[in-house]
Each structure stands twice: as C-alpha cells, then as structure tokens.
Structure 1
C-alpha cells in the first residue's frame, strides 16, 4: 500500500473517530452536565431567597414573596404557616405548575424561616425545566445524514492532505531513481526545515560523496593501470638489460671450457666474468631498490634539510675533492616534511651523478635556499632535449655514458623521479648555458 493511501486511511479514520467521540459526548454527557448545572443555578436562587426572607417581619415576607417569585421563571415558591395553611400564593396552582410547562426535570426543596415576631414558616421551592434529552432524539434522527456528510468532507480533506504531504517525498523518490545512473548535477529539492527537508539534504550530501568517491576510484584505477604498465615496462627493460651480459658471459665461459683460441687464458677471462657479475650485482641491487620503493608505508616528519644534506653528502664531497673539482656549497636552513631516508637517497643520487659527469677540474654547485635545492655541474656533455625527455626512464643512459666504465646502471634518476613524485615535490632537469646542467627541486609545497 502506498504512503498516500495509508495517510488517507489513517487521517480519515482519525477524523471520523474524533467526530464520533464528539457526538457521543454530546449525546450522553452534555445533557447530564446541563441538567446538573441548571439545577444548581435554580437552587442557588432558591437559597438566596431563603436567606433574604429569614428574619424579616411577616408583612415584609408576604410583600417580598411576590417580587422574589419572579426572579427565576423555573422556580415556583410556596409559603405555609405552622398549621399548614398556604399563605402564598393566594390560589393553589402549584400542583399543576410542572405539567403545564411540560417540564421533564422537576424537584422540590423545603426550608424553614422565622419572622421577626418569632413565627415559623415553611418555604417550598418547586423547580422545573426542559432538559437536553429532547435534543438527543433529534441528533439520533439526523445522525446517519450527518455521518455521511462528515465522511465526505473528511475524505476530501484527507485526500488533499495526503497528496500534499507526500508531494516532496514523491519528488525525492523520483530524483533518487535518477541517481542510480550516477549522473552529476542531480539533487533532491529541499523545501522547508522539517524532517523531509533534512532527508533531502542528507541524500544530496550522500550522493555528492558517492560521486566524489567514484571519481577518486576512477582516478585510482587509472593510476593503478599506469603503475601496472610501468611495472611491465620495467620488467621488460630489466630482462633486456640482463640478457646481453648473461649471453656475453656464457660465451666467455664456453670459450674457456673448450679452450678456443685466446680463451685458453682462463685467468684473463675469469676476471672479465667477475667484472660482468659485479656489474650485474650492482644492477640487481638497484632493481631491488626500485621495486621495493614504497614511501607511503614509511613515516614522514619535519626536519632541517640543510643539516641532513650536509651529513649525507660528506662521502660524495670527499670524492669531489679527490677529483679536484671546484665545489661551491651553500646550505641555508630549510624545514621540510618528508621521508628523510628516501629523500636524502634521491638527493645523493643527483649529487653523485653531477660529480661523476663533471669535467676534470670543473665546477659543482649545491645551493639550498628559499625552499629550493639547486645542483649544477659543468658537464662533460650537455644533454639534448630528446635525451632529457628520456633521462628518467629506467635503464636509460645517454650514448656517451654507456662507453664509460662508471656509466652507472641507469636506475638512479628513475629512483629520484619515484621519490620526488610520491612526495609531491616539483623538479626540473635542464641545461642552463653552454656548459652547465642544473637539477632543481622545489620544496615550497611540503
């Protein structure tokens, strides 16, 4: 059963029941209340007459009886002396009083009064009036017609009320059905300040939160897909990086096993095999660091980056001195909120690369101020734009660095990118003039 029909039946039943209770009260209780009230009013009039006549002279009593008898038309007075002789009224009409007026409520009160002369009189008060029981018969006759009329009026009022009271709920229901499509811009109409209005507001807030969560899930799904693609690309590149040295070392070992040509010199080629294994060990270690990097599981806190960088870069600065590089170090106190272990490792990779690829006797500048870190070096060769676009890819190394013995694994800047991206720091790697490369990190959003 719908709410409109339920409200209609409930309101109709309540109003008809209320009307029946009112009719029952009018039929049964009102006449009784009226009769008792009317009788008390007449009795008060009678008692006031008794009080006024008591103690008066006999002449005054006879004179006032005529005036007092007219006070209440429903009260008839009768005065007798001690011998029972009627002194008022002059004609004996008391016996026919109630019958002549067709009164259905009658009664008699009797009191004794004493005159100034000491004579005792009996004062009777007979009352009679028409009760409301006659009206009950009229109500009983009209009851069926009144009931039908009331039922029709109540039904109309209940129907209008039911439809109006459920109009907002119906509108909210229609909007919520539309919300199943999760289309943006939908909202329930909010009218008034009652419970229905609060319900509409709560639905709107819930729907907006749902849309927000759906959008966040969508973005998270896109990020997950991107991470999965990166992981697949990373695994593919790792396999490629391992494939060539493994094949090379297998060739060396086969040559030594079968003593082919110069491979008879086992000591020479065993050293080469060891060098290849050592390089691959460094590569595997870098790969493990890249695959286990998860800053989200580590605790972040605020610390002085200048002091931490000075301690972390101490070995790298000694290396720069050994290479006789011109080192400019300017570190101002800067408070950042980050994972100190990973951030310092990323900065160390940047500085190590700068020192590694600086020309002999060249300059390296490390400047930390105004929430920015600048690492500049006088590079052996400036990177071209297409090389800068690929420099953060795993295992990517410019052609000139591949030929060098200390060309690295190609994982360092990839790790730097992962650390800075997960912290939300902005960064840039660029050539600033004909000889300098600059790596900039902005910590202003930390």
Structure 2
C-alpha cells in the first residue's frame, strides 16, 4: 500500500470501509433474524361472535430461507453502490491534491506560468495559496540572484580591465626608468652625467609611487564607498567650500568661475566620498577650460550643474571618458591630461551611491555640462 498513489489508496481504503459496513450489517441481520418471535393476538369484534387465538409463531426456517435467497442480490447491490461511492469520494478528495501535485511539478522545473488553481476555502486551498506565494518569492529570489550574478560578473570584468589598464599605465614609466639606468650603467652619451640623470630618475620613481597609491586607492573605492556611513549634508555649504580653491586656480589660469546657489539643499550621503567625486568634477572643469573661457556651477532644485566652455567631446569618445586611465585625444599625456582616473572615480562613487548623473555636450555656448541629480 505504501507504493500506491493517493487516488487508488484512497479508493481502496474507502471501499474496504464500506464493504466492511455492508458485511457486518448482513451478518447481524442473518444471525438475529431467525430468533425474532411474532406474537399474534386477534382483537374481539364488538357485536360479533369471535374467537380469540393466542400463541407464538417462530418462522426460523422460513426467515433463514428467505434471507439466503435475498443475500446474493443484496450483496451485489451493496458492493456496486460501495464501489460507486468509493470512486466518487476518492476522486473528489484527491482531485485537488493531484492538481496541486502537477502544479508543484511544473514549479520544480521553474516554469514561470505554473500556479496552483485551487479556489476552495479548506486546508487544501490554504496550502495552494501558500505554495503560490512561496513559488513567487522563489522566482523573485532567483531573479535577484541572477541580477547579483550579472553585477558580480560586471564588477569582476571591471576589475580585470582596471588591472590591465593599470599595468599598461605603469609600464611606460618603468620602461623609461629601466632604460635610463641601463644607459647610466653603460655610460652612454648624456647619461654619463649622473648629476643631471639622477634627479630625472627620482622624479620618475616619485611619479610611479604616486600612480601606485592612486591605483590602490581607486581599486578599493567601490568597497569603501559601499561601507561608508551616510550623514545629512548641507549641499549648499559643501559646494561653496569645495568651489573656493578651484576659484583661485581658475583665476590663476585666466578662467572665469561663477558659482550660483539658488536653494539650500540637504541630502544623506557619505560626505567624504561625495566630496571626492565633486572635487574631481570641478577639477576637470577648470583643467579643461581654455584661458578667457568660463566655468559655471549651479545648485538649483536638488540638482548640481557644472558647465565649462571648451571644445565639446565627440560622441565617439564620450562613452569612454568614464573608463580608467582614458584621456581624450587632445590630452593624451599625464602632464596635461592628468592620470585618467578622475571620471572613473566619479562614476564608481555615484554608481555605488545610486546617484543619477549625466555628462553631455552644450551647443550655446559650446562646452560640456555635468549634471548631478540629488535624490
């Protein structure tokens, strides 16, 4: 019986119970019927002459014979009704369970259209509702895991690309330093003058040290930003304090710097990381603005806008600006184009903090506009 499915098992159980009831009823009737006694006492008729006969009549043989003749037909009818009742009872009882089993089987195959369609209000209906809710949560969890998996894969690819770019970026000064030292050892040409070459070697090593520090800080920026504790920031005061040194740098280079704060805005963000991203944006705006041009910074309606007048970046180069160590065509060296990590750091911080931003060209006046949406 343990190996039978629920429908035949329920059918056999219910049929056995009904047949047992039928058998016991017939047995009791067969055993007790011959012992029944019939008392026959005719009543006196008023106004008529009558006879009163009193006696006992025990028709044991007659009753037993009649019972034996009726027993086969009675048993057949009762068995037929028992089978019929057991079948419909078992079918009605197990249909919901079989339907639930089919739905669960589809769910085990992760069929998103699978659903338990049981509308009853009993325990099976509650079970079907619980299974549907559980399956819905499972699908949501699987979807979230897929998204996390894709995000993790993207992060891993980004780390690999960053390390590849970093190794390529470090290769140039290391090669230059190695060549200079070899020429100094061999005493080739001007490299015989140690007093002139050693300061150059020292400058290269200092630049290497600075690059390595920047690369290490940038590589752990995403984790440190994610773990940073957000606090309530007065963006108006923060922006004014961050713009102050860049106003002096812009004046030194003959660049106009305008700051306009319309409203007092407060947000909850990690102040160190948010300040670092803003500083990189302001530094880029000042560095890439020619003499006589203008840098404008606005704070209005929960939005920070940084505009600088310059040659607009082409659509082909614009998607690559947020890649590590990328520099535009007009500034490919470190002396004029920085280390190529500024906008990569900005993108990493804002993406980790879920801060919307955009960087698009302007037509009138020509230049670039960086917009930060404060939520």
Alignment partner of 1:214 out of 129, 132, 142: 142
> Which whole-Å CA distance do the structure 2 matches of 1:156 and 1:303 have between them?
78
User: Against the structure 1 CA distance between its residues 17 and 339, is the aligned structure 2 distance closer, same or farther, given a 3 Å change threshold?
Assistant: farther
1:27·1:139 contact (CA, 8 Å) conserved in 2? no
> Which whole-Å CA distance do the structure 1 matches of 2:333 and 2:16 have between them?
97
> Which whole-Å CA distance do the structure 1 matches of 2:302 and 2:346 have between them?
18
Does residue 1:426 correspond to 2:372, yes or no?
A: no
1:160 CA drift (Å): 1.7
Larger Rg: 1
1:362 CA drift (Å): 3.4
1:262 CA drift (Å): 1.1
Matched residue SS, 2:291: coil
User: Against the structure 1 CA distance between its residues 404 and 22, is the aligned structure 2 distance closer, same or farther, given a 3 Å change threshold?
Assistant: closer
Does residue 1:182 correspond to 2:182, yes or no?
A: no
Matched residue SS, 2:260: strand
1:226 CA drift (Å): 2.3
1:192-203 aligned at under 5 Å gives the runs 192-203=120-131
1:363-374 aligned at under 5 Å gives the runs 363-374=294-305
1:278 CA drift (Å): 2.3
Matched residue SS, 1:376: strand
Does residue 1:171 correspond to 2:171, yes or no?
A: no
Counterpart of 2:89? 161
1:396 CA drift (Å): 0.8
Counterpart of 2:47? none
Does residue 1:12 correspond to 2:31, yes or no?
A: no
1:188-337 aligned at under 5 Å gives the runs 188-293=116-221, 294=223, 295-323=225-253, 325-331=255-261, 332-337=263-268
1:373·1:442 contact (CA, 8 Å) conserved in 2? yes
2:257·2:294 contact (CA, 8 Å) conserved in 1? yes
1:365 CA drift (Å): 1.3
- Matched pairs, number: 362
User: Alpha-carbon deviations, 1:191-210, whole Å to 9, x = none?
Assistant: 32222223333333333333
Matched residue SS, 2:369: strand
User: Against the structure 1 CA distance between its residues 134 and 354, is the aligned structure 2 distance closer, same or farther, given a 3 Å change threshold?
Assistant: farther
Matched residue SS, 1:413: helix
2:19·2:79 contact (CA, 8 Å) conserved in 1? yes
User: Against the structure 1 CA distance between its residues 21 and 303, is the aligned structure 2 distance closer, same or farther, given a 3 Å change threshold?
Assistant: farther
> Which whole-Å CA distance do the structure 2 matches of 1:269 and 1:364 have between them?
40
Matched residue SS, 1:218: helix
**TM-score, with structure 1 as normaliser:** 0.70
> Which whole-Å CA distance do the structure 2 matches of 1:5 and 1:166 have between them?
10
**TM-score, with structure 2 as normaliser:** 0.81
1:27·1:136 contact (CA, 8 Å) conserved in 2? no
> Which whole-Å CA distance do the structure 1 matches of 2:82 and 2:167 have between them?
85
1:9 CA drift (Å): 2.5
Matched residue SS, 1:348: helix
> Which whole-Å CA distance do the structure 1 matches of 2:169 and 2:62 have between them?
112
> Which whole-Å CA distance do the structure 2 matches of 1:258 and 1:440 have between them?
55
Counterpart of 2:48? none
1:379-418 aligned at under 5 Å gives the runs 379=310, 381-403=311-333, 405-418=335-348
- Give ranges in structure 1 of 5+ residues lacking alignment: 36-72, 77-95, 105-129
> Which whole-Å CA distance do the structure 2 matches of 1:151 and 1:290 have between them?
84
> Which whole-Å CA distance do the structure 1 matches of 2:348 and 2:267 have between them?
18
1:74 CA drift (Å): 9.4
Counterpart of 1:355? 286
1:327·1:365 contact (CA, 8 Å) conserved in 2? yes
1:6 CA drift (Å): 1.9
1:23 CA drift (Å): 6.8
Matched residue SS, 2:138: helix
1:336 CA drift (Å): 2.6
Matched residue SS, 1:405: helix
1:176 CA drift (Å): 2.8
- Give ranges in structure 2 of 5+ residues lacking alignment: 45-50
User: Against the structure 1 CA distance between its residues 139 and 24, is the aligned structure 2 distance closer, same or farther, given a 3 Å change threshold?
Assistant: farther
